[in-house]
Structure 1
Amino acid sequence: MAVAVAGLLLGDHKLLLGDVANWAQGNAGRTVSFVLDTRTPRVLAALLAGAALALAGTLVQAVTRNPLAEPAVLGVSGGGALGAVVLVTTVPMAGGWSISAAAFAGSALTAVLVFGLAARGGFQQNRLVLVGIGVASGTTAVISLLIVLTDPFNATKALTWLSGSTYGRDLPDVLPLAAVLALGVAVAGVRHRELDLVSLDEDTPRLLGLDLLRGRLGFLVVSVLLTATAVAAAGTIGFVGLVAPHAARALVGRRHTRVLPVAVLLGAVLVCTADLLGRTVIAPAQLGAGLMTAVIGTPYFLHVLVRARR
């Protein structure tokens, strides 16, 4: 709550709590109304995108049993970025809804490709991760090629979107993400015991009568939906799906009935804080939330990697 309130009050134009109260009652002045009308959807987009990416990361790490896995490892984030960049570079006048739809379509197609290549191995952890890394590398290469070949103005738009910016978001952009996040939380909450079993080993779920292949696929589909809608709403934001589940397990243990809500809250706080810093550090200029989460997440990623090797 403190981070959300700070996100509303701070920025290139600082406000007071009384300004927010007047705006909520419809009594604010024109300047305050304009600032909050544009800032509120950005704060909501950051909170919901962070929560969705954290939940998706929790599901992916449980299914793959890989502490270094996150949605970007499966190539889903890269596919969404590729879809958006293709539209931005080929249709310069495309609007926000069109770019979001292209990002969602790119994530969906990438997920189909990754799951199709990994299905022969029964979605085994190593095969799925390796296929995802390969596809993610391919999408990164194509994105770089498109940016180099396109008009500099379109390249600037593409790079702004790739930085994970919430700039220009409005409430209709946030509603699909809110709906998918509610669905993902409900599914994960109901099946939290199944998540505990899937994250243990290969044999225990089968001995208890669980269809391991179907369970893995179901959780992966939910994680793809969460990632795709988050990318469509807020651009590509990395490391949240890696950092938030690890921090949640460090705080409350490994049982998913506790990990899920804590990870969701931590992800929301992380992205909202990153968006707030990006709007205030060099105001009135802005930095994308994805850049700020990378600054936070890279040292933590190296720490996890070193600890895993030990």
Structure 2
Amino acid sequence: MTATTTAPHRPGGRVDFGRTVWVWRTGPLALRVDRRSVLVCAVLAAVTAVFGVLTLGSGSLPLTPAQVLSALFDPDADHRARLVVVNWRLPRLLFALVCGAALAISGAIFQSLTRNPLGSPDVIGFASGSYAGASVVMLLLGTADYLAVASGSLTGGAVTALLVYLLAYRGGLAPFRLIIVGIAVGAFLSSLTSMMLLSVSPQQAMLAATWGAGSLSGLGFAQLGPAAAVFAALLVCSGAVVRPLVHLEMGDDTAAALGVDAQRTRLLATVAGVALTALVTAAVGPIAFVALAAPQIAQRLTRSCTTLRIVPAALTGATLLVAADFVALRVDVPVGVVTVSVGGVYLAWLLARQYAGRRR
């Protein structure tokens, strides 16, 4: 292993990246990682683990951290504790990790795509499309089957993305136009969902509204397996568009000079981001503001010039959702209520900061 540092002159032809990086070389292969990003990821993983243990110990049967760890790793631990921790609570925690990471990656993609910190899927309407698709299945088709609701959510997200793309495309896909059209389409779909809720029985409306609050309750390993497999596939697809998107942040002309097809990259990035959002909405309902906040927090923690640091963003999203779920368990509300409450404050701060920056 060799390391390059921030020295102004690097003997031996080494490149000065402006910050300390670690480089691993094995034959013709080399891996370069930023030291600060590694340390941030390690701290985030530790914080997530702490909140995870606290979450596994929360509920109608409170358990101490020692009891939780014993139930997880000791086969001879108390049978009741192992049943509660491993069979009932662990799937919820794993869902929080997967969904938080998926939302953060989706937010990072759209914020890079639009070059705007407000360009997250829940702001530009794609989450509303997934919610509308799931609502059609529950309210109009009259079924709450997990696979049916998931299919409706995925279909709604895909159709919304296609509609926004077609309406925003004018000889190219301008980031600002994508945000404006997405907000308009999202508002229309939210109104459509509200109209459906008012046109059905109170029992059906309550079922859809409860699901629409975003909750990790009632999920088990049967639902976790397919969701994790889809997330792994989408993670690979998202990784493939990271480098072209970073090039696009420097402008279309620069990206074209580097061999990047701007419109094709934007289309693939949109598909990947929408699929990640729809995956989460299909599994647990709409979870707002994680996609908005996580990439920005990760960027500030790593001091990166781009939100497209996939691993730090994913770990930040997982940490935020696991922490929010811990709070939700303590106050007995759906996790989506917690993320909306905290995220609304964050959004107001972000808008105020953007406005103050423009006035300067």
TM-score (norm 1): 0.91
Structure 2: how far apart are the matches of 1:152 and 1:26?
48
Matched-pair contact (CA < 8 Å) for 1:12–1:280: no
**Aligned ranges 1:146-165 → 2 under 5 Å:** 146-165=196-215
Once the two structures are TM-superposed, the CA of residue 38 in structure 1 deviates from its matched residue by 2.1
Which residue in the other structure is 1:52 paired with?
102
**Aligned ranges 1:88-107 → 2 under 5 Å:** 88-107=138-157
**Residues 61, 8 of structure 1: alpha-carbon distance in 2 compared, 3 angstrom cutoff:** same
**Aligned ranges 1:283-302 → 2 under 5 Å:** 286-302=332-348
Which residue in the other structure is 1:12 paired with?
60
TM-score (norm 2): 0.79
Matched-pair contact (CA < 8 Å) for 2:216–2:335: yes
**Residues 204, 80 of structure 1: alpha-carbon distance in 2 compared, 3 angstrom cutoff:** same
2:233 to 165, 168, 183: 183
**Aligned ranges 1:1-310 → 2 under 5 Å:** 1-16=49-64, 17-22=66-71, 25=75, 28-30=78-80, 32-34=82-84, 36-255=86-305, 259-281=309-331, 286-309=332-355, 310=357
Structure 1: how far apart are the matches of 2:137 and 2:249?
38
Q: How many residues align?
A: 306
Aligned residue type for 1:289: V
Structure 1: how far apart are the matches of 2:333 and 2:171?
41
Structure 1: how far apart are the matches of 2:343 and 2:173?
27
Matched-pair contact (CA < 8 Å) for 1:57–1:69: yes
Structure 2: how far apart are the matches of 1:228 and 1:103?
6
Structure 1: how far apart are the matches of 2:154 and 2:172?
25
Structure number with the higher helix fraction is 1
Q: Which has the higher contact order (CA 8 A, sep 6+)?
A: 1
SS at match of 1:168: coil
**Residues 210, 183 of structure 1: alpha-carbon distance in 2 compared, 3 angstrom cutoff:** same
Give ranges in structure 2 of 5+ residues lacking alignment.
Answer: 1-48
**Residues 157, 121 of structure 1: alpha-carbon distance in 2 compared, 3 angstrom cutoff:** farther
**Residues 56, 26 of structure 1: alpha-carbon distance in 2 compared, 3 angstrom cutoff:** farther
Moved more, 177-186 or 267-276: 177-186
Once the two structures are TM-superposed, the CA of residue 35 in structure 1 deviates from its matched residue by 5.5
Instruction: Give RMSD over aligned pairs.
Output: 2.1
Structure number with the higher strand fraction is 2
Structure 2: how far apart are the matches of 1:203 and 1:298?
37
Once the two structures are TM-superposed, the CA of residue 59 in structure 1 deviates from its matched residue by 0.3
SS at match of 1:66: coil
Aligned residue type for 1:177: A
Once the two structures are TM-superposed, the CA of residue 50 in structure 1 deviates from its matched residue by 0.8
Matched-pair contact (CA < 8 Å) for 1:74–1:111: no
Larger radius of gyration: 2
Percent identical: 34
Once the two structures are TM-superposed, the CA of residue 166 in structure 1 deviates from its matched residue by 1.0
Aligned residue type for 1:72: D
Matched-pair contact (CA < 8 Å) for 1:43–1:272: yes
Structure 2: how far apart are the matches of 1:195 and 1:288?
35
The one-character-per-residue Cα deviations of 1:214-250 (angstroms, maximum 9, x if unpaired) are 1111111110111110111111011111101111111
Runs of 4 or more, structure 1, over 4 Å off, are 255-258
Give ranges in structure 1 of 5+ residues lacking alignment.
Answer: none
